Chain A
Amino acid sequence: MPRLVSHPDEVKIVTRRFGMGASKIDRYLELDGYASARKALAEGSDWIINEMKASGLRGRGGAGFPTGMKWSFVPKQSAKPKYVLVNGDESEPGTCKDHLIFLHDPHAVIEGTIIAGLAIGAKMGFIYLRGEYRYLIENVERAVAEAYERGFLGRNIFGSETEFQVIVQSGAGAYEVGEESALMESLEGKRGVPRIKPPFPAVVGLYGGPTVINNAETIATVPHVLAMGGAAYAAVGSERNGGTRLFGLSGHIARPGVYELPMGYSLRKMIYEVGGGVRGGRKLKAVVPGGSSTPVLLPEEIDIGMDFDQVGKAGSMLGSGGVVVIDDQTCMVEFALRTIQFYQHESCGWCIPCREGTDWLKKSLTRFHAGFGTEKDIDNIQYLAENMMGRTFCPLGDAAAMPTLGFVKKFRKEFEDHLHGKPCPYAHHPEVELV
């Protein structure tokens, strides 16, 4: 069972019910569960969207698009059925927040899904979880069954004339399916290859109908936003970044775990106070601030507030909120290699720059880390990454290129230290297989 952590600086909104047995519906109801959905049903679509807009809630998947605005893009009238899609294909390395939500508070996800459905006028919602999360899928399915039993889902939700159905869907192992249109493809029983945009999902989405797709954390936040009011939620966070965020601290951190902190919370404090600093009292070498796709930050770059805008200004991204702390005993070449290995494995193969670029980078970095690199390789790695940036079919290419560029630019010296047959100065994993 994943360990729950806590810290006094936390503002527990989304995690309010964690560890309280709220995955059972009775307990969830005792903790004010489904009150927001009832209210949403009474107040109607415009009210919901206005509250969401006021909350300043931005998509927790990584792109940070304002949720209220996203919902308002869905046409009111549509010949085809509309859908709500919850993206629980949590796969970005460094990220495990949805894991806890599905485990401790599945009803919040269901309630958020209902509210999103009410907001856009959908009658069906899908909660898509990555296939590896089987025990969580079962947990959510059980919660969905409870909600059906109580009449919170079905033909007449909460005794109203409104219908809303929820289906829990299992993935089968594909990071790329976390991309919204790829997720729709997967849900339609196809290869998880993204779609050409436009049209955007709000107009043509799942089964060709207007679709709202949100990250599981975003959806789980929705009932809380309505409960406390959009403005109150917004007030918790920083400017243009409403509310709290589930930050996952991992890597060489003394107290790893998922912490709910206000948007804009200092990264330095997050590492040194909330997370208890670098494990074993070691020195900080680098931080990956928002999941493996976000460019690495140096120790001198951590005096920033953790919100979409401030991290962006620092040359990286808030991403999925997965903060990976790296100590001074770590080989950044190996770290870069392990990162690109992931993207090489997960590239869908659709477009040339991503498919070929990730593979080439993986091969080069493998060789390089094994001590067979040349000066030219360093430039070439940078050249490849630069030429993948912005040229690929979907953001996965950028996700692979951005961190690679960060590692090469910020740790060029470490790359050079691997040259001329020198063994990796930090080798704790000496045999790297040449593929």
Chain B
Amino acid sequence: MSAEAMTLFSTELAARFDALVERYPVRRSALIPMLLYAQDEIGYLSDAVIEEVARRIGITPLDVRNVATYYSMLRFKPAGKFNVQVCTNISCMLRGGYKIFERFQERLGIGHKGVTADGLFSLEEVECIGACCWAPAVQVNYDFHDELTEEQVDAILDEYRSRSQKAGSR
């Protein structure tokens, strides 16, 4: 089987990739967004994903790794289905960001960079997510949750749990 035929990407992702690389004056410009999109679909940047991205861009896997490891949103181990990112930076800290983070730790039974046993949630303390005026804020995957109280933490977790169950029962 030819190397080109082997892919980890869905048809949509592969098509998106093919379209993206052609848009820029330089193919490589697609690298960082593509890594993020690949991570969204596959969950993390495995060695195989890195190799495939390298092949599609036309650079070495080392080169991809050099770049990928620079960006803090990219990860090399699986995270939970819902990755809870709690901002504790100054604006959030002043409005109880750490308390929110503690509440998540308590409720999920995991710490920074932990993943729940069922793989549903992972937790991260993150740097400023650009929601300072609506602090404290968290992101679950790409969804923002602003002006949180500790009580709302439980509701957020319940919401995602039920979302997952719905998806599962479908």
Contacts and interface: CB of A to CB of B under 8 A. Distances in A.
B70 A191 contact: yes
B23 interface: yes
B111 to A, nearest CB: 10
A39 to B, nearest CB: 29
Interface stretch (B10-18, B85-93, B151-159): B85-93
Nearest to A102: B130
B117 to A, nearest CB: 23
B98 A94 contact: no
A250 B31 contact: no
Contacts of A429: 98
B70 A95 contact: no
A256 B98 contact: no
Given A322-B132, A342-B89, A251 B95 contact: yes
A346 B32 contact: no
Interface in A344-359: 345-346, 348
Contact of B127 (A175, A207, A250, A322): A175
Interface in B127-148: 127-135, 139, 142-144, 146-147
A296 B46 CA distance: 43
Interface string A417-433: 00000000000110000
Q: Chain A contact residues (Cβ within 8 angstroms of B): what range?
A: 35 or more
Contacts of B49: none
B127 A172 contact: no
B132 A96 contact: yes
Interface stretch (A23-31, A108-116, A130-138, A234-242): A130-138
Interface string A247-267: 011111000111000000000
A121 B167 CA distance: 50
B88 A338 contact: yes
Among A131, A132, A252, A429, chain B packs the most CB atoms within 10 A around the CB of: A132
Given A93-B128, A172-B35, A192 B70 contact: yes
Contacts of B131: 2, 96, 99
Contacts of A334: 93
A125 interface: no
Contact of B133 (A131, A169, A256, A346): A256
Interface stretch (A181-189, A297-305, A408-416): A181-189
B94 interface: yes
Contacts of A258: 133
B33 A250 contact: no
B115 interface: no
Contact of B29 (A1, A187, A249): A187
Among A1, A81, A173, A257, chain B packs the most CB atoms within 10 A around the CB of: A173
Interface in A166-181: 167, 169-175
Interface string B94-127: 1100100000000000000000000000000001
A50 B113 CA distance: 52
Interface in B47-67: 57, 66-67
A95 B57 contact: no
B71 A338 contact: no
Contacts of A81: 25
B17 to A, nearest CB: 13
Among B26, B29, B57, B66, chain A packs the most CB atoms within 10 A around the CB of: B29
Given A93-B132, A189-B32, A429-B98, A3 B147 contact: yes
Contact of A292 (B33, B88, B89, B98): B89
A330 interface: yes
Contact of A133 (B94, B128, B130, B146): B130
Given A3-B146, A174-B70, A91 B130 contact: yes
A191 B64 CA distance: 10
A90 interface: yes
A30 to B, nearest CB: 28
A73 interface: no
21 contacts: A93-B91, A94-B91, A94-B128, A124-B25, A131-B36, A169-B32, A170-B36, A188-B26, A189-B57, A249-B133, A250-B94, A251-B94, A292-B128, A322-B91, A324-B90, A324-B91, A334-B93, A338-B90, A342-B90, A342-B128, A428-B98
Interface of A: 1-3, 81, 90-96, 98-99, 124, 130-135, 167, 169-175, 186-192, 207, 248-252, 256-258, 288, 292, 322, 324-327, 330, 334-335, 338-339, 342, 345-346, 348, 428-429
Interface of B: 23-26, 28-33, 35-36, 57, 66-67, 70-74, 88-91, 93-95, 98, 127-135, 139, 142-144, 146-147
